[in-house]
A and B are shown apart, each in its own frame.
Chain A
Amino acid sequence: MLPEDCCDGLPDVTEAEQPSPELNLPPDVPALRTFYLYLSAGCNLHCRHCWITPTFVNGKPVPAECLDFNALEQAVADAKPLGLTSAKLTGGEPTLHPEFVRIVDFLADQGIGMTMETNGTLIDGNLARHLAAKKLSHIAVSLDSSDPAWHDSFRGRKGAFEDTVRGVSHLVEAGFRPQIIMSVCRENLDHIEGLIALVQKIGAGSVKFNPVTASGRGKEMHNDGGGLSFDELMALTRRIRGELQDRFPIHLCIMIPPALLTAKEILRDKSAGGGCHVRNILGLLGTGEMALCGVGRNVPELCFGTLGKDNLRDVWISHPTLVGLRKDLDGPFHGLCGDCVHAKRCLTHCVAMNYEMTGKLVNVSPLCAEADRRGLFPVSRRVGG
């Protein structure tokens, strides 16, 4: 899964949320609204591009790499007074967690709204119906091609395509309109239309295109020339949000910084102008570490403590990295972002990606920086005009 995967299923960020007075938080501390639960640090697929780099699990996962149920129970108890209302179930592959159903039931009982990201291979009819009964609001499933052999090769396991399509069908039968997430690299650029047609045929609701980023295993792919260049990415964005969206009735989406989208593209997809909910999110890794998001798996300094050892409230309120991040996100922004009309909503697009590529969380998005270097950053999006 890619960093952009974090932008789904949640309300759009258009303005910084003001903390509710009943939460009794210090004035400069935002509410902790959402857990990103990396339930399993393992995955039953071995994808060539994965930014999380989970351990390949051929059978049952190692227990130590699955989020401990009791630790999660305590974390929810600690986070509800901080404002917790939703959780994204992700991984690795979240359904690999031996207590996955128990976790879903627990969160539902606690009134925590849920979304999920999955490769879909382990979802059968019973599980799909159970997820529907627990009212998950959004499920995203990874599928990268309509060509089974290509998908299997990309995902590192024969039969992955068939299993995923079957899983999506079960979800559709249970009443979901899952979102398909296609990881796009140079090799499968020609597979896009075929995938959209397949997605429509199997009844999924939308397609999100995530260009493979140079993080985790994607780094190697980029080094080998398999990632998309800036020009290819911009051309892909124009094609998806223009010609393809004109032709296909289902919602198509690709996330790039809003400054690089045309006014027409933003008008067509209101969520495109918003940014990440990073101010209101805490990631919990399978190891029990509290982290910015899944980036903590690869970047130890973006882990802020461990459930059971460190107090979640203290971490949320006082961890220097979170305190610094909030301060920086409040602005003023520097460099190109300081001259961009979108800065307060875009929040530098993806702080995890910024950190991996520039060593700073709040920094000009590499895409905007490249656009600026080429003289392609739109004048109409500069504060000075």
Chain B
Amino acid sequence: MTRAKKRRECPPLFLHSRLRALGARIKGEMKEPFFVLRDEVVLETFGEESLVLLLDALELRRINAVSRRLLDSLATPRSATVLAAALDMQPPVVAAALREMEAQRILRRIVSLKQERNETMQDPTYLTNPEVSYRPEDDDGAILFNADTDGLEVINPTAMEIWKTLAAPRTEAEVVARLCEVFDDAPREEVAKDVSEFLESMVKKGFIGIVEEAS
């Protein structure tokens, strides 16, 4: 059956709904995040497993063969859909692996960050500025350094946890929830206050950004 013939067979209402579905899919793909390997990462493979060294934080991560395959294709930004198609993998599996590697600071998301929230933003998500390198010194504190601006911050263990949480976009409430899990003896109000102050200060200084919502 030719396409033209099929179209003729479609009642007008059905045709419109097909077009709407197609539009929604295109819009969805445009919204789908793109990821890329962070510059500060070195990979080494040992049999079925690979080790990832984060040069700025001097931390090691262990990844499986699936993740390693994905990383080989992430020297340039790709979305989960594109990667899944290129590597003949299941999109949900790819998406989950990408999110996991983002949280581990192996990958970074290509996203536009802002220093001010729109009036219309109800619950903005925050993300660490990819230009800032994170350098933990034992468990006592860490150095944040932006080589582009010479910006420097020294942060305490609570702020270190917030920083790690914001390797992937999170709302303020999600950050508070995460910190309450880690510091389970700290009063929630105190944690919420610390998180709010830290986010405000870091966004102002450009170390953390507000994720720009797709229009």
Chain A residues near B (Cβ < 8 Å): 262-264, 266-267, 273, 341-342, 344-345, 378-381, 383, 385
Contact = CB atoms under 8 A, between A and B. Distances in A.
Interface string B118-152: 00000000000000010111101111010100101
B10 interface: no
A264 B150 CA distance: 21
B154 interface: yes
A378 B136 CA distance: 12
B140 A380 contact: no
B140 A385 contact: no
A15 to B, nearest CB: 10
**Most B C-beta atoms less than 10 A away, residue of A266, A267, A273, A378:** A267
A263 B137 contact: yes
B147 A383 contact: yes
A345 B154 CA distance: 13
17 contacts: A262-B137, A262-B138, A263-B142, A263-B143, A263-B154, A263-B155, A264-B137, A266-B154, A267-B154, A341-B145, A341-B150, A345-B152, A378-B137, A380-B58, A381-B143, A383-B147, A385-B145
Contact of B56 (A266, A273, A381, A385): A385
B135 to A, nearest CB: 4
B135 A266 contact: no
Interface of B is mostly: strand
B135 A273 contact: no
A81 B191 CA distance: 48
Nearest to B55: A385
**Most B C-beta atoms less than 10 A away, residue of A341, A345, A383:** A341
Contacts of A378: 137
Nearest to B139: A264
A266 B58 contact: no
Interface of A is mostly: helix
B140 A264 contact: yes
A342 B152 contact: yes
Interface of B: 40, 55-56, 58, 133, 135-138, 140-143, 145, 147, 150, 152, 154-156
A47 B138 CA distance: 41
A266 B155 CA distance: 9
Contacts of B152: 273, 341-342, 345
Given A263-B137, A385-B55, A385-B56, A380 B154 contact: no
B147 A262 contact: no
Nearest to A266: B154
Contacts of A380: 58, 135-137, 143
B144 to A, nearest CB: 9
A157 B6 CA distance: 109
B145 A263 contact: no
B160 to A, nearest CB: 9
Nearest to B54: A385
**Most B C-beta atoms less than 10 A away, residue of A263, A341, A342, A378:** A263
A380 B133 CA distance: 10
Nearest to A385: B56
A344 B145 CA distance: 12
A381 B137 CA distance: 10
A106 to B, nearest CB: 40
B65 to A, nearest CB: 29
Contacts of B137: 262-264, 378, 380
A385 B38 CA distance: 14
B140 A263 contact: yes
Given A262-B141, A383-B147, 5 more contacts: A267-B155, A341-B143, A341-B145, A380-B137, A385-B56
Contacts of A383: 145, 147
A267 B143 contact: no
Contacts of B142: 263
B137 to A, nearest CB: 4
B152 to A, nearest CB: 5
Given A344-B150, A345-B152, A380-B135, A264 B141 contact: yes
A305 to B, nearest CB: 34
A262 B147 CA distance: 20
Nearest to A270: B154
Nearest to B143: A380
Contacts of A385: 40, 55-56, 133, 135, 145
Contact of B141 (A263, A344, A379): A263
A245 to B, nearest CB: 14
A381 B55 CA distance: 13
A266 B145 contact: no
Contact of B154 (A273, A344, A379): A273
Nearest to A331: B150
A309 to B, nearest CB: 40
A342 B135 CA distance: 14
